Structure 1
């Protein structure tokens, strides 16, 4: 039977001659009007906060924080609605700034900003890329973007997804790492480690006693005057659920929706998992594909086989010298990462945890020799992909078409 899986901006078709079952569900995409209504309903029924129009007055300066180009968040749906409500309440367009929450990612291009926000943003509204090294204000325990720190009201936005460190994205994560200083971001991400190992309380869907999440919330709460609009996206990258209100309330509502709708119960971990990142922008680069590796590995037994589709049109997004780190033992990688902590080195460690415990085949646009140096087997065509699947000794495989959207869980998983 032919399978068609997302890859970049297109799909890859593969004929699978083994029995397979799908991890995840295919939902019916909602119309754009339905997305508008979902967001509008959320904003009309705020959770532990006033309606947006009642939270501002003429003369206020408002900062809207939106996610960057590396993930689908529906900002093109809700950003115009937020702006409309603010201006109807008397806030001048010139007093509104939209801050792209880059963390440590590169600045968004004009084309990427247009893709994020859509065509309906008034020219008078300023759009700013966050810079983690300049234009910061010390709030006592954390430094944040000046436009955000000095605003009368800050509207946090973004999609809530399973996150390999913070448990869930969204909420205060728009502030830390989104618009925080480089030092604050690196300190937070270093909490991934407990000695020379990954902290067992750090991982997707883990909230209780998660040190990364606790640090994000502590630093984020240094900024008052905040409200939050969070959403959950469906597999077609459309808004499926939204919540508006206080930061914790909106985030918790979306995280609860995601947990109940997108955690897949499986009886046990499986010997072969065939996973797609879900296409662009989730497979924008190898770095951005980390959630694909970590989520699909949860479904694959140690020593099993992972086949991953991730286009990586923007390359590795790792420093060239880091590819050689994959050949080191995990403890040595951890030691080197911690001695000179940078985000791309942490990504190497996270990927190596999966690659060293499973046989990983990678279908991507990355150079084959570099994929091999990273400890994976490169796959160059759908035909080769079919041949590899045919040669696997198992007669059954699990297919994970949207590995960043769903989280597998087996008995005892926490």
Structure 2
């Protein structure tokens, strides 16, 4: 069996013996695609807002507004969405003062080059763009307490404006259920203190804090409350395919439009588990496979499909390294993944440390499976220090997986682990 899977900015050719190959798990974007060009899909969503007045009605009479926009780690096609938003806003209110606020959450700052790649030269040169810094306590507004008990502190720029809206995209998310909607607020423009309280070990361990689940998800509950307190008035969220092209768009009320978009993604992405000894997965290529931190997302799809004691082959460039110093150091310094899991479980909510949630999920996976990282762009030593194995090529990884599980081991491929919701029942 020959397949092409995403790796960095290319498609990697892989081969799996027919006698071992058990199938492919992938989403069905073609069966869900809305009609029209990317621009037409977005315009139609804005023409038909869900549970809300139109964007044009909302901006009338306002002196200022903030558009929250995703950062460099998210493949939101802002070169498509942002020009449309800006045009429609200014046609309705030419004098309005617009600030684009980059929702970095707990990530590093987005660079000028990454902004240009995201929006194009014109928008970066002409618009007021501010990159959120979760560690800038002086720049935060105190909005009280989250339902979970954590402090709710959000970027003051978003709170002090006349109108707050957000653009983003919806995909399955490995502990928030789905991305998009309320996630633009928390973690998007929240303080580090708020992010860490929301991402506490208790919540991450919840069986409801999983891919494709919103109901009873404690992380989602906090995020929804944060969006309400921030007065997030309107969203434009898109759904994209493997080529990062818009295939669906949802605009309107921050909760209702988001839920409608999530239902669209669920229909497109839900697949039935096909338990295997070896599962091959990716993070969908660039930009999500830039580091090990983000690659944990793709691993969770494999986790849901891999037999206990099996092997996960994670094909991910990780050219930007580990993606989080605390994430890396805690895994490196742990005697074993299970020992790290046990230590994290004892950390109180308000003492959550940076990147704890990511190391907790990776440790959970490593405690059950062998993970082989396939990359020729990242330090093999770093990967090994984090309790994983390294392979420079896919063939090398597959050979090693057969050594572990035997030559008769079954193999399933998930070409894009971020784009599927694997259901075990």
State the distance in 2 between where 1:225 and 1:280 align.
Answer: 29
Per mean C-alpha deviation after superposition, the further-off stretch among 342-351 and 39-48 is 342-351
- In 2, are the aligned partners of 1:101 and 1:178 still within 8 Å (CA)? yes
> Higher mean Cα deviation, 219-228 or 98-107?
219-228
Encode CA deviations 1:75-117: one digit per residue, 9 max, x unaligned.
Answer: 2111110000011012436x10000001111111011111222
CA distance in 2 between partners of 1:339 and 1:325 (Å): 22
Asked if 1:255 is matched to 2:257, the reply is: no
Corresponding residue number in structure 2 for 1:85: 88
Counterpart in the other structure of 2:42: 39
In structure 2, the residue corresponding to 1:62 is in which secondary structure? strand
Counterpart residue number, 1:151: 161
- Within 5 Å, which residues of 2 pair with 1:11-410? 11-18=11-18, 19-25=21-27, 27=29, 34-58=37-61, 60-92=63-95, 95-121=97-123, 123-132=125-134, 133=136, 134-141=138-145, 142-190=152-200, 192-193=201-202, 198-224=205-231, 226-266=233-273, 268-319=274-325, 320-322=328-330, 323-325=332-334, 327-328=336-337, 329=339, 330-335=341-346, 340-364=351-375, 365-388=377-400, 391=403, 392-394=406-408, 396-410=410-424
Counterparts of 2:351 and 2:24 in 1: how far apart (Å)? Answer: 41
Mean CA deviation greater in 379-388 or 6-15: 379-388
1:230-249 Cα shifts (integer Å, max 9, x gaps)? 11111111111111110011
Between stretches 377-386 and 334-343, larger displacement belongs to 334-343
Question: Relative to 1, partners in 2 of residues 1:386 and 1:304: Cα closer, same or farther, differing over 3 Å?
Answer: closer
Contact 2:115 / 2:124 at 8 angstroms: preserved in 1? no
Give the TM-score normalised by structure 2. Answer: 0.89
The 1-side partners of 2:122 and 2:259 are apart by: 29
Specify the SS of the correspondent of 2:255. helix
Give 5+ residue unaligned stretches, structure 2: 146-151
Whether the aligned pair in 2 keeps the contact of 1:325 and 1:348 (CA below 8 Å) is no
- Asked if 1 retains the 8 angstrom alpha-carbon contact of 2:186 and 2:223, the reply is yes
CA-to-partner distance for each residue in 1:112-144, whole Å, 9 max, x for gaps? 111222344274420000122242222343222
Query: Deviation string for 1:144-187 (max 9, x for gaps)?
Result: 21221111111111111111221111111101111111211111
Q: TM-score, normalised by structure 1?
A: 0.91
Q: Confirm or deny: 8 A CA contact 1:271 1:305 kept in the other structure.
A: yes
Aligned equivalents of 2:335, 2:188: Cα separation in 1? 28
State whether residues 279 and 411 of structure 2, in contact with CA within 8 Å, keep that contact through their aligned partners in structure 1: yes
**SS of the counterpart of 1:156?**
strand
In structure 1, how many angstroms separate the alpha carbons of the residues matched to 2:281 and 2:298?
7
CA RMSD of aligned residues (A): 2.4
CA deviations 1:219-277 (Å, max 9, x no partner) are: 221122611111111111111111111001110011000111101123x5222211111
- C-alpha distance in 2, partners of 1:225/1:206? 22
Q: Structure 2 CA distance, aligned partners of 1:5 and 1:250?
A: 32
